[in-house]
Structure 1
Amino acid sequence: MFEYQALHLHEAAALKVLRYIKGNPRCGLYYRASSSTTLTAFSDSDWAGCVDSRKSITGYCLFLGSSLISWHSKKQTKTSRSSCEAEYRVMAATVCEVQWLTYLLHDLQVEQTSLVSMFCDNQLAIHIAHNPNYHE
């Protein structure tokens, strides 16, 4: 019951933001000209977050310097057996998006001066990603 109320509050807040954006078409996202061209990725998952299907809700966002350039949130297509598996799935989706953005930035002649930093809050998923023996 508590999760449903929290979800309803978040939906209401998101609708409020969308109504504000629709009512103020001259407003937009601000991107600094002096920002760096370093890509940074953040990913997270809410294991079994959907109360009906018990599927995980995942999301990620990517920053170019200090500017948000890509974000995504959705319910996973498969049911994860653990929070680690849910986190690992969203990390894989984030890496796909990072790879696509890296190619796009290369085509736009935006030089990447450093490696992409990716952040995840699940230590076991991070250890699995670093150890190639665990990839099955």
Structure 2
Amino acid sequence: MRILRCLKRTPGIGIFSHNKSLIQLKAYIDSDWATCPKTRKSITGFSVYLGESLISWKSKKQQTISRSSSEVEYRALPATTCEIQWITYLLHYLHIQHQQPALLYCDNQVAIQIAHNQVFHE
């Protein structure tokens, strides 16, 4: 929504995109475990790129207290996936075609292994 508001306010500026850049969504996730000294809640951040252009980002304190850094990173995955899904719907609505699947980068190996396992996790 921030991008659309910005484009509405300044219609002559637009979003810069290289003509040789692939139209592919990429998201990067990172979390900081128990960052807040008062509440011990973690902070999660993500950034989403369309090709080489940054189009969405967010940094937010998580609602729950996590027991490990892996749990913090794993909780960040669904939030970022929802953002990617929303952007995918928006691109479809704007008739922007992208063939490649969205890429989601996470630096925590345990969170990646949990996400790959199809068994229910508490």
Give the TM-score normalised by the residue count of structure 1. 0.75
**Does residue 43 of structure 1 match 2:52?**
no
Unaligned runs of 5+ in 2: 1-12
Residue 103 (structure 1) aligned to one of 89, 93, 103? 89
d(CA) in 2 for partners of 1:76, 1:59: 10
Q: Is the 8 A contact 1:63 1:70 kept in 2?
A: yes
Distance change >3 Å, CA 68–CA 134, structure 1 → 2: same
Choose 1 or 2 for highest CA Rg.
Answer: 1
d(CA) in 2 for partners of 1:29, 1:86: 35
d(CA) in 1 for partners of 2:53, 2:14: 9
Which residue number in structure 2 is paired with residue 72 of structure 1? Answer: 58
Unaligned runs of 5+ in 1: 1-27
Q: Which structure shows the higher helix fraction?
A: 1
Which aligned runs of 4 or more in structure 1 are off by greater than 6 angstroms? Answer: none
Could you say what the CA RMSD is over the residues aligned between the two structures, in angstroms? 1.6
Q: Is the 8 A contact 1:128 1:134 kept in 2?
A: no
Q: Percent identity?
A: 53
Larger RCO (alpha carbons 8 Å, 6+ apart): 2
